[in-house]
């Protein structure tokens, strides 16, 4: 019903929650088609499959507490995101075929910050990406 009004921006809070993989893929394909018509969609997603994750153009990633740790484009096959986090000294490289969303969450945990002796919030605030944003 909301889409009929042709809004310029749509906010969706976990539109795939409770859906099986096939239904979630259908919903996200519809969301992608909506974006392709020139509308902006802001979406929260919990534990997306790689196919659903790759449907997004940009990511706003926060760590526990709400501090920004990545705000920017994903790139083709998430190459921009991967390059950013693999560029942080001590962050392990993603293994071929590994779910990117899982890897991203694993390498940016508070425990990993303690192990690496860094704050991903500070890394982001001192990055070229932050300056561009």
Tokens 């962050």 found at: 91
Residue ranges of the chain with per-residue pLDDT less than 70: none
Taking alpha carbons only, the member of 22, 108, 95 closest to residue 59 is 108
Q: How far is CA 72 from the centre of its chain?
A: 9
Beta strands 40-44; 9-13: pairing state: parallel
Q: Residue 107 has what pLDDT? A: 95
Q: Residue 68 has what pLDDT? A: 96
Q: What is the pTM of this model?
A: 0.84
Q: Where are the strands (E) in 56-104, listed by range? A: 58-62, 68-73
In the DSSP assignment, the letter for residue 2 is G
Per domain, the residue ranges of the chain are 1-56, 61-133
């Amino acid at each position: 019903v909301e889409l009929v009004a042709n809004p310029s921006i749509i906010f969706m809070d976990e539109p795939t929650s409770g859906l099986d993989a096939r239904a979630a893929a259908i919903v996200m394909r519809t969301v992608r088609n909506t974006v392709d018509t020139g509308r902006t969609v802001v979406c929260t997603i919990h534990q997306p499959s790689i196919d659903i994750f790759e449907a997004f153009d940009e990511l706003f990633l926060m760590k526990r507490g709400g501090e920004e740790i990545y705000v920017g484009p994903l790139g083709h096959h998430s190459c921009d995101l991967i390059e950013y986090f693999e560029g942080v000294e001590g962050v392990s490289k993603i293994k071929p075929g590994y779910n990117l969303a899982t890897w991203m969450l694993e390498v940016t945990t508070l425990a990993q910050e303690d192990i690496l002796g860094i704050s991903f919030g500070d890394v982001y605030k001192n990055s070229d990406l932050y300056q561009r944003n």
